[in-house]
A and B are shown apart, each in its own frame.
Chain A
Amino acid sequence: MILWIVLCLVFLSLTVYFVQILALRRKLSESYGLTNFPPISIIKPLKGLDDNLFDNLESFCKQDYPEYEVIFSLQDRNDPAYRVAEKVRNKYPELVKIVIDSSYNALNPKVKNMISAYKESKYDYFLISDSNVYVEPDYLKKTVSSMTSDTGLVTNLIVGHGGKTLGAKLENLQLNSFVITSVCFLDKFLKMPCSIGKSMLMRKSDFEEIGGFNAVKDVLAEDYLIGKLMHQKGKRVVLCSYTIRNINEYWSMNKFLNRHTRWAKIRWKIAGLKYFSEPLSNPVFVSSLIPVLEGFSKISMTAFILVVTIKIAFDLYISRLIKSPIGLSGLLIPLKDLITAIIWFVPLLSCKINWRDNLYIIGKNTVIKPYESNSSLKVVFNRLKTVITG
């Protein structure tokens, strides 16, 4: 009986994944309508050295676009990214500005990093872009083309690229399967507003209407909240079919585990009970239950291997769709899927987040507060003290 239930779940899981791939296919087939090109301020918050940083930053200075500016924002001149930013500015002095300021109050370090740059930016259209993103020269034109009068936010699909270490290969496999298909599925079939922080184009007037950075300064998923607030204000949140590259070359396993644990916690705090449907998009995990429940017999292992093979074939197809060949890394897909399945359980046990050396406790809708290691002990002590002293 249990075996039949699991087999049904496996079938359902493969179907869900197939539907997600269909969503990606449909999304990628959308065309761009090139219209007018308003001037744009690109804000790039920098912290630490990302892989390929120089090329990533420079790719924003090579845009085939009539009028735009690029602002690199940092909180500290001693940040190693500053040297790289300075070199790019020296190469493109008319285009690039560097803003260094850490005076604003915000728990979200990325938001804190961007406030000054936002104030310095001169155009009404502004684009927030992460430092680990590499774009082609037609990126701005194609992204802007999705910005119609009723649109509040345009965001882009991300494709992981350049894995050279095990951690980076797993990261790219995860971005190029679960992440990209889930985003397209939510956008295409569930019509949910999806906003991806790696690339967000907005008008200042719309952004200020939803409260600007003040509205998102103390949440972890500022991108999600911006999208949600825009949607609530009646503005469209558009997922542009133009893909941008997230360069991950020399990631350690720790970095991979840390990022996906953090993202899983974010999804848990945003989705609530819907989070429990997520394992259905991981057929490898669901099929691994067959040998676990039925023993490692010939039949159960055959079923498991069959599902793994189908999953690898699906992911190879996705890699063709997004023009990002997997190569031999494809053999790591089952390992990656099993690791992310284990990660899925972590948010149910812990709400502590480590992001860029800052520790937080994450609450509902990803509201964060600084983590204090002995906070619960302190609370008990203070309560006891109050009781004793009356």
Chain B
Amino acid sequence: MLLCDFHIHTKYSDGSMELRKVVDLFGQAGFDVIAITDHVVNGDSMIGKFAYKFRFTVTEKNFNEYIENIRYEAKRALEKYGMIVIPGVEISKNYLSSEKSAHILIIDIKDFIPACASYETIFLEAKKQNALVVACHPHHIKGEIRNTLYLWKNRNKYGKYIDAWEIANRDDVFNVVSLKKYPYIANSDFHKARHLYSWKTLLNCDKNVVSIKNCIKNNKGVAITLFRG
């Protein structure tokens, strides 16, 4: 089975490590597939403005450079470690209220999608790019003051656009996802080296991007594992 992590941040947003070092860390640990998903933050809220000011976000301006660098690293990772690296972003709609906030992984993104666009626009644009849409940390996280509950609260409206839900994020497990029998994956939400040891996804499929996306969408041959060193 392929050992995967689809939720990883680098210094392009609020991660603590450079892209190259992140790729090497996962490659050295024997991973088969990873997705780099730095934040694209909405600039229409106070928190969003803060993220822009301190460059904790990928912007329309540096998006192409971001994707280019990921593709360069993807080539290197495939040659050296036999590891697939998929470009992605985490659309981060941050507001003071947890009920209004939501984070969405767009995996295998090609063109920039602004986070201040409406949910429908974001989902439809992601589908147009044939990218995978994942609702991340959709429920309450222990000890977290600000949660991202919007998508879960509005799952009846938006569920049809979402290819998978994060059933586990780093150390937290969201059992509501399994109770609703939604398609699932588990990720580290990697920001620091120690986050390597966290929940991960195992996929039983061929090792190429199309098969990986189909496997997650169809949610057959998907398992989760708590990865420990």
Instruction: Identify the A interface with B (CB < 8 A).
Output: 48-49, 51-55, 80-81, 83-84, 86-87, 90-91, 164-165, 249-250, 252
Candidates A83, A164, A249; contact of B30 at CB < 8 Å:
A83
Q: For the complex, give the distance between the alpha carbons of A86 and B3 in Å.
A: 13
Candidates A55, A80, A83; contact of B228 at CB < 8 Å:
A80
Smallest Cβ-Cβ distance to B32: which chain A residue? A83
Q: A87-B82, A165-B193 are in contact. Are A48 and B229 (CB under 8 A)?
A: yes
Contacts of A83 in B (CB 8 A): 3, 30
CB pair A80–B30 under 8 Å, yes or no, is yes
Contacts of A81 in B (CB 8 A): 30
B69 at the interface (CB under 8 A from A): no
Candidates B25, B30, B194; contact of A87 at CB < 8 Å:
B30
Q: For the complex, give the distance between the alpha carbons of A355 and B148 in Å.
A: 41
CB pair B194–A80 under 8 Å, yes or no, is no
Contacts of B82 in A (CB 8 A): 87, 90-91
Contacts of A55 in B (CB 8 A): 28
Kindly provide the distance from the CB of B118 to the nearest chain A CB, expressed in whole angstroms: 41
B227 at the interface (CB under 8 A from A): yes
B145 at the interface (CB under 8 A from A): no
Q: Mark B5-48, 1 if CB is under 8 A from A, else 0.
A: 00000000000000000000101111000000000000000000
Instruction: Identify the B interface with A (CB < 8 A).
Output: 3, 25, 27-30, 81-82, 193-194, 227-229
- 28 A–B contacts from the bound complex (CB under 8 Å): A48-B229, A49-B29, A49-B30, A49-B229, A51-B28, A52-B28, A53-B28, A53-B29, A54-B27, A54-B28, A54-B30, A54-B81, A80-B29, A80-B30, A80-B227, A80-B229, A81-B30, A83-B3, A84-B28, A84-B29, A87-B30, A87-B81, A87-B82, A90-B82, A164-B193, A250-B193, A250-B194, A252-B194
Q: For the complex, give the distance between the alpha carbons of A340 and B228 in Å.
A: 28
Contacts of B81 in A (CB 8 A): 54, 87
Kindly provide the distance from the CB of A352 to the nearest chain B CB, expressed in whole angstroms: 23
Q: For the complex, give the distance between the alpha carbons of A249 and B192 in Å.
A: 13
Contacts of B229 in A (CB 8 A): 48-49, 80
Kindly provide the distance from the CB of A130 to the nearest chain B CB, expressed in whole angstroms: 16
Smallest Cβ-Cβ distance to B31: which chain A residue? A83
Q: For the complex, give the distance between the alpha carbons of A329 and B157 in Å.
A: 54
Contacts of A249 in B (CB 8 A): 193
Q: For the complex, give the distance between the alpha carbons of A249 and B194 in Å.
A: 11
Contacts of A53 in B (CB 8 A): 28-30
Smallest Cβ-Cβ distance to B3: which chain A residue? A83
Smallest Cβ-Cβ distance to A53: which chain B residue? B28
Smallest Cβ-Cβ distance to A48: which chain B residue? B229
Kindly provide the distance from the CB of A161 to the nearest chain B CB, expressed in whole angstroms: 14
Q: For the complex, give the distance between the alpha carbons of A53 and B196 in Å.
A: 14
Kindly provide the distance from the CB of B82 to the nearest chain A CB, expressed in whole angstroms: 6
Contacts of B27 in A (CB 8 A): 54
Smallest Cβ-Cβ distance to A51: which chain B residue? B28
Known interface pairs A52-B28, A84-B28, A165-B193; 4 further A-B residue pairs with C-beta atoms within 8 A, sorted by A's residue number: A48-B229, A53-B28, A54-B27, A249-B193
Q: For the complex, give the distance between the alpha carbons of A84 and B132 in Å.
A: 28
Q: For the complex, give the distance between the alpha carbons of A52 and B29 in Å.
A: 8
Q: For the complex, give the distance between the alpha carbons of A48 and B3 in Å.
A: 16
Kindly provide the distance from the CB of A87 to the nearest chain B CB, expressed in whole angstroms: 6
Kindly provide the distance from the CB of B80 to the nearest chain A CB, expressed in whole angstroms: 8
Contacts of B227 in A (CB 8 A): 80
Contacts of A252 in B (CB 8 A): 194
Contacts of B30 in A (CB 8 A): 49, 53-54, 80-81, 83-84, 86-87
Q: For the complex, give the distance between the alpha carbons of A164 and B28 in Å.
A: 16
Q: For the complex, give the distance between the alpha carbons of A86 and B27 in Å.
A: 13
Smallest Cβ-Cβ distance to A47: which chain B residue? B229
Contacts of A80 in B (CB 8 A): 29-30, 227-229
Kindly provide the distance from the CB of A93 to the nearest chain B CB, expressed in whole angstroms: 13
- Closest 4 pairs between A and B when the two form their complex, measured CB to CB: A83-B30, A84-B30, A49-B229, A250-B193
Contacts of A48 in B (CB 8 A): 229
Smallest Cβ-Cβ distance to A84: which chain B residue? B30
Smallest Cβ-Cβ distance to B80: which chain A residue? A54
Q: For the complex, give the distance between the alpha carbons of A86 and B28 in Å.
A: 12
Kindly provide the distance from the CB of B207 to the nearest chain A CB, expressed in whole angstroms: 12
Kindly provide the distance from the CB of A81 to the nearest chain B CB, expressed in whole angstroms: 8
Q: For the complex, give the distance between the alpha carbons of A83 and B28 in Å.
A: 10
Kindly provide the distance from the CB of A100 to the nearest chain B CB, expressed in whole angstroms: 15
Kindly provide the distance from the CB of B10 to the nearest chain A CB, expressed in whole angstroms: 15
Contacts of A250 in B (CB 8 A): 25, 193-194
